[in-house]
Amino acid sequence: MAKTSGNLADLEAEVIYNGLCCYCGTCGAFCKEYIAFENELPKTKQKCYEICGACYAFCPRTFFAPFQTDRAIFGEVRTDNLLGYYQGEILSARATDVALREHAQDGGVISAVLLYLLKEGEIDAAVVTRTGKEDNWQPEPFVATTKEDVLAAAGSKYTQCPAVLGVAEAFEAGYQKVALVGLPCHIEGMRKAQLSEAFKVGAERVKFLIGLFCTETFDRTLLAQTLKELGTTFDAVAKFNIRRGRFIVTTKEGKELTMPIKKMRAFAREACNYCYDFASEFADLSVGSIGSEDGWSTVIARSDMGKDVLDRAEAAGFIETKRSTPEQVAEVRKLAAFKKRENWKRISEKAEPIRIMNLLVEPEHLEHFFCSD
């Protein structure tokens, strides 16, 4: 049997000190007593003598069962291994509100869908990621309840935020119908909390999960160095973007500074190298920029609710959509394949041999089992 339970000491050994922690915040969100965060890692506040192990059970990096999770959330298992389970067509979409789009990263679909859900009373709070008040692009979880809140948090922050901590904050504030916007790691952690049989933390109060496409997040110190090389600093930046193979920094003075994204790979957080999920495969709706023209976002509806909300948000005039062309879908698939292929190599190098019945196999040799003739 694969190991699927452990305690905080196991989490430390297997994930935190093993370079796998993605700083999603899920472990500490539901265990404030023992876990705090320091230098983008969970830190034991006091020695944990509990054998409880919710931290271990919820962490997306201790163990994660993609196909079981598909079945539990969507009712069936994916047939598309690159993009995960989804329904209907892949779409390009954008908010109809032009002013909203100006605040947003791409098409403003995420913000528009959140505003629709808030207006309809389907959620009473949305956990989003905004930059700190110090104007330094330090991302922090934020519980948004108004249009102003949602707009203030629009736009991509390319360093990591423990967004799931915002879910705990929303619960503590008494919200009962919460949406979470997150990267694949946040969505996986939240799903594990929702699906846990052993630990009940009220995670069913998270009603809607919007996932971002994600290749990686950057180490903040290394990103600061990149900015220095480009002749700027965090506080002078108006927007970060990644388009057509380039990392683009737009300064508040309107200057555009760019760097090839290939060069930025080295600045990814270590844990991102072991992530196998590009398209936020377990969200209700997944959104990204690849595969859409400027000012639009690519949207994948996965759950029944995701599809229904998308349709209703369009019917209510919050968003407009158009079907992605086969070439656009191919672009999304190409980037998903790139992440999976590159990270599988790293996962294989790091992983212990896998035991299947009596056979011990190194992960890099697994493919030899799928022999045809």
Ligand X SMILES: Cc1cc2nc3c(=O)[nH]c(=O)nc-3n(C[C@H](O)[C@H](O)[C@H](O)COP(=O)(O)OP(=O)(O)OC[C@H]3O[C@@H](n4cnc5c(N)ncnc54)[C@H](O)[C@@H]3O)c2cc1C
User: Which parts of this chain interact with ligand X (CB under 6 A)?
Assistant: 104-111, 128-129, 139, 153-158, 161, 163, 181-183, 212-215, 217, 287-290, 297
Contact in structure between 208 and 309 (CB atoms under 8 Å): yes
* Least separation in angstroms between CB 261 and ligand X: 9
Whichever of 106 and 284 has its CB closer to ligand X, that residue is: 106
DSSP label at residue 276: -
* Least separation in angstroms between CB 126 and ligand X: 7
Whichever of 161 and 313 has its CB closer to ligand X, that residue is: 161
Whichever of 54 and 163 has its CB closer to ligand X, that residue is: 163
Contact in structure between 60 and 195 (CB atoms under 8 Å): no
* Least separation in angstroms between CB 338 and ligand X: 10
Contact in structure between 347 and 340 (CB atoms under 8 Å): no
DSSP label at residue 325: P
Contact in structure between 360 and 354 (CB atoms under 8 Å): yes
Whichever of 8 and 104 has its CB closer to ligand X, that residue is: 104
Residue 340: what residue type?
A: K
Looking at beta carbons, which residue is closest to ligand X?
288
Residue 169: what residue type?
A: E
**205 vs 168: CA distance, rounded Å:** 11
Whichever of 114 and 203 has its CB closer to ligand X, that residue is: 114
Whichever of 57 and 143 has its CB closer to ligand X, that residue is: 143
Whichever of 50 and 293 has its CB closer to ligand X, that residue is: 293
* Least separation in angstroms between CB 80 and ligand X: 17
* Least separation in angstroms between CB 176 and ligand X: 20
Helices (H), 184-238: 184-195, 220-229
Report helix angle 66-74 to 184-195, nearest 10. 70
* Least separation in angstroms between CB 219 and ligand X: 12
DSSP label at residue 75: S
Q: In what order do the strands lie in the sheet with 139-144?
A: 139-144, 125-131, 178-182, 206-212, 285-288, 297-301, 91-95, 319-323
* Least separation in angstroms between CB 89 and ligand X: 17
